[in-house]
Amino acid sequence: MPKFSYTARNRSGKTIEETLEASSRKDALRVLTARGLQPLQVEETSSGRPTATSGKAATANERKARRKDLVSKLSRRERLPFFQSLHDLTTSGMSAGESVRLLSLRLQDPMLRTLCTGLWERLGEGSSLSQAMADFPTVFDPSSINLIQAGEATGSLNDVLGRLITHFTEQKELRRQLLTALAYPAFMLCVSGGVIIFILLFLMPRLETLLHSLGGKLPLSTQLLVGFSGFAMRYGLILIGAAVFGAITFWRWRQSKKGREKTDSWMLGLPVVGPFLVSQTVLAFSQTLSVLLENGINASEALRMTERQITNTQHRKAFKEATERVLEGEALARALQRTGFLPPLVLDQLSVGENTGNVVPSLKKIGNTYRKLISDQLNAFTKVLASIVLLGVFAFVGFIAFAVLSAVFQLSQSIKLR
């Protein structure tokens, strides 16, 4: 019977290196799991019969093809539900490998079950959980993988999972607030646009015919409205097509490196959008860095990972320069102060945390403050935008009513004079 050398961790976190006999690698993993061990590496050292190389190669190729197909279908949406399901099982005493195996059999969601099946196949080949997650880059980002690896190395996987769940839940809630804040103004824009199009394209031509049949000279406001309606009838489709083409062209240009840098720089200069983007950067920086440092990632690697989580290219470039200064020995608060994009109060809190040795609590406090600030900014932005849209609609509809009524009044007066 083949022998396998393995490296595993017991429930107390101690690493064990021994050998065992099993009919296959999967059987060896099952034995280790039954013993309450978490396999880190399993390799076959000797075998009593020759191996079928071509069969193994074919099986490996099939597995690679299946895994490639899985990666193309999965996305970041499966990350948080997977961590939550895994955490529920590992906190009850199950090993990570056995938890993934159970999830691959019990989960009802097809995408989550597909993800867990792919991870279990990788674990069955002797990989650790972090190594298995690395095969699914569309689901797990490098920061999550490194944190799971650190949790495996220190025996604190449950704590790492809990912090990751909290972190991604807060990010999900922020995205939900953003979408909710934009939903009402978007609805108002659609409704008002529909009303304006109806008036210009359907109501005004009929009113124009009626007013011309009555004879007389139309007021200036009515002439403007009729002219605008006629322009919309003749060139409306062309203008819409040009607007769509311009939007697509602008979007594709923004996807390029130069376009992204230019547009990010422009947005930082806008009155309302700029401060909101700064708040987003502070929140991403404080939340990500605190989670990484709290879970044992060294400072240099944590700063590099945090840099990749900053979406604005101008802020990311500035943070990269600050990271290089920190690696040269400069204090983080001082290095970030040179960039000029962080608010002074944030720098003061960070400096106090560095001086007292409490960087992580300071970062968490900054994150909590800016999470509330972003929520307030979104609420204020929603109210202002909704008010602007409503005022615009009311003003346009009022102008239409004034133009129509003034025309009817003037034409009725001219009829009486006859």
Per-chain mean pLDDT for the chain: 81
User: At 2, is the secondary structure helix, strand, or coil?
Assistant: coil
pLDDT digits (tens, 9 = 90+) for 386-409: 788 788 878 887 888 888 788 777
Out of 3.40.190.10, 3.40.50.150, 1.20.1250.20, 1.20.81.30, the CATH code matching 181-418 is: 1.20.81.30
SS3 of residue 200 by DSSP: helix
Choose among 218, 242, 241: nearest CA to 411: 218
For residues 350-369, average pLDDT: 89
Is 133 or 2 the better-scoring residue by pLDDT?
Answer: 133
Quote the CA–CA distance of 378 and 179 in Å, as a whole number. 10
- Report CA-CA distances (Å) from 239 to 186, 231, 235, 243, 392: 21, 10, 6, 6, 21
Instruction: Check whether 53 has a pLDDT greater than 50.
Output: no
User: Across-strand partners of 7?
Assistant: 17, 41
Instruction: Calculate Rg over the CA atoms of the chain.
Output: 31
pLDDT at 88 exceeding the cut of 70: yes
First CA to last CA distance, the chain: 116
Rounded CA-CA distance 272/266 in Å is 12
Kind plus residue range of the DSSP H or E element containing 405: helix 359-417
Listed by start position, the domains of the chain span 1-49, 181-418
Q: Is the pLDDT of residue 68 over 70?
A: no
Does the pTM exceed 0.85?
no
Q: Determine the Cα–Cα distance for residues 170 and 328; give it in Å rounded to an integer.
A: 33
pLDDT, one tens digit per residue, over 250-281 is: 999 988 888 888 998 899 888 888 888 899 88
CB atoms within 10 A of CB 120: 21
CATH of 1-49, one of 2.80.10, 3.30.1330, 2.50.20, 3.10.20: 3.10.20
- Give residues with Cβ within 8 angstroms of 206, minimum separation 6: none
pLDDT bin (cut points 50, 70, 90) of residue 71 is low
Of residues 249 and 10, more confidently modeled: 249
Confidence grade of residue 83 (pLDDT, cut at 50, 70, 90): very high
With a CB cutoff of 8 Å and minimum separation 6, the contacts of 297 are 146, 147, 150, 305
Write down the pLDDT at residue 214: 64
Q: What share of the chain is helix, strand, coil (3-state, %, to 5)?
A: 80, 5, 15
Q: In what helix (H) or strand (E) does residue 269 lie, and over which residues does it extend?
A: none
Beta bridge partners of 42: 6
Domains 1-49 and 181-418 share a fold: no
Residue 280 C-beta-side C-alpha neighbours within 13 Å: 22
Place of tokens 């939340």: 287
The Cα 216–Cα 322 span in angstroms is 73
